């Protein structure tokens, strides 16, 4: 049975990705900051995917020690990992000269360093097999600076840089790396929004695109995946 790790897997894009991988035969290990969200997911999984294994772990990904602890938990229940999806992220608005002190550090800890530390911790169980896949959830903000979201954009630019470096280092070892850069998709963050339903992508669209990348032959890789709503960015 193949195994995938997904950070921030209880809601939104992470949940859509988790469900699609489970539908295609994967056992999963997901993390989230809120224990109640993990419990709700486990209850839903027992009904929807009774034959799929689901491990959950509560973690604050802004804290390196907890990220490393999560990695240790994964390695305690599995001896191998096929897919790592660094999906968890956070958004804080603000201008560089006006945002609260510490905003950049917070964005870097959650959006960049959590992926960096988790990937470093799990690669030792992926490298010996000469196969595997790492997806990093970047953003349109990884190459196009968002107004009033400077620290967020900085962190996502950095995550794209990390993805490119990782791709170069892992290509000789048979491990693929894809930087996923989606525009806005419906998720809990847009709950209550008055935008037309068709204006935003669906979380399932992003999940299907990631699955499409995963199912390519061993000879091919999508290095960077850009997705936008058909009518463009908001």
61 falls within a domain: yes
* Domain-located, residue 116: yes
- pTM, two decimal places: 0.96
% of the chain with per-residue pLDDT over 70? 98
Answer whether residue 14 shows pLDDT above 80: yes
Active site residues: 152
For tokens 């525009």, name the residue: 183
Range of the domain at 199: 3-227
Q: Which residue has the higher pLDDT, 189 or 184?
A: 184
Is 35 part of any domain? yes
What is the pLDDT confidence band of residue 198, given thresholds at 50, 70 and 90? Answer: confident
Query: Residue 76 has which token pair?
Result: 């305690």
Q: Say how many residues make up the chain.
A: 234
pLDDT score of 189: 67
Average pLDDT over residues 109-123: 98
The verdict on residue 232 lying in a domain is: no
- 234 domain-assigned: no
Residue 233 lies in a domain: no
Which CATH number does the domain housing residue 112 bear? 3.40.50.720
Instruction: Give per-residue pLDDT as tens, 204-219.
Output: 999 999 999 999 999 9
From first CA to last CA, the distance across the chain in angstroms is 40
Q: Which residues of 98-121 are buried (b: 16+ CB within 10 A; e: fewer)?
A: ebeeebbebbbbbbbbbbbbbbeb
Task: State the pLDDT at residue 196.
Answer: 83
- What total number of domains does the chain contain? 1
Query: What's residue 193's pLDDT?
Result: 72
| 138 within domain boundaries | yes
Is the pLDDT at 13 greater than 90? The verdict is yes
């Amino acid at each position: 049975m193949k195994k995938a790790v997904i950070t921030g897997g209880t809601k939104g894009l992470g949940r859509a990705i988790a469900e699609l991988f489970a539908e295609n035969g994967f056992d999963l290990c997901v993390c989230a900051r809120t224990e109640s969200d993990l419990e709700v997911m486990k209850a839903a999984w027992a009904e929807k995917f009774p034959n799929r294994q689901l491990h959950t772990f509560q973690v604050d990904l802004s804290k390196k020690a907890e990220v490393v602890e999560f990695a240790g938990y994964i390695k305690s229940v599995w001896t191998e990992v096929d897919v790592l999806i660094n999906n968890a992220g956070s958004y804080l608005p603000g201008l560089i000269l006006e945002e609260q002190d510490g905003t950049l550090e917070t964005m870097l800890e959650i959006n960049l360093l959590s992926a960096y530390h988790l990937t470093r911790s799990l690669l030792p169980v992926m490298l010996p097999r000469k196969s595997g896949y790492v997806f990093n959830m970047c953003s349109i903000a990884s190459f196009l600076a968002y107004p009033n979201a400077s620290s967020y954009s900085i962190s996502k630019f950095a995550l794209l840089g990390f993805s490119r470096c990782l791709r170069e280092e892992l290509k000789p070892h048979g491990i693929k790396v894809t930087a996923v850069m989606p525009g806005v998709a419906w998720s809990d963050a847009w709950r209550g929004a008055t935008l037309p339903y068709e204006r935003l992508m669906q979380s399932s669209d992003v999940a299907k695109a990631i699955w499409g990348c995963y199912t390519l032959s061993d000879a091919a890789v999508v290095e960077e995946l850009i997705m936008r709503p058909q009518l463009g960015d908001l």
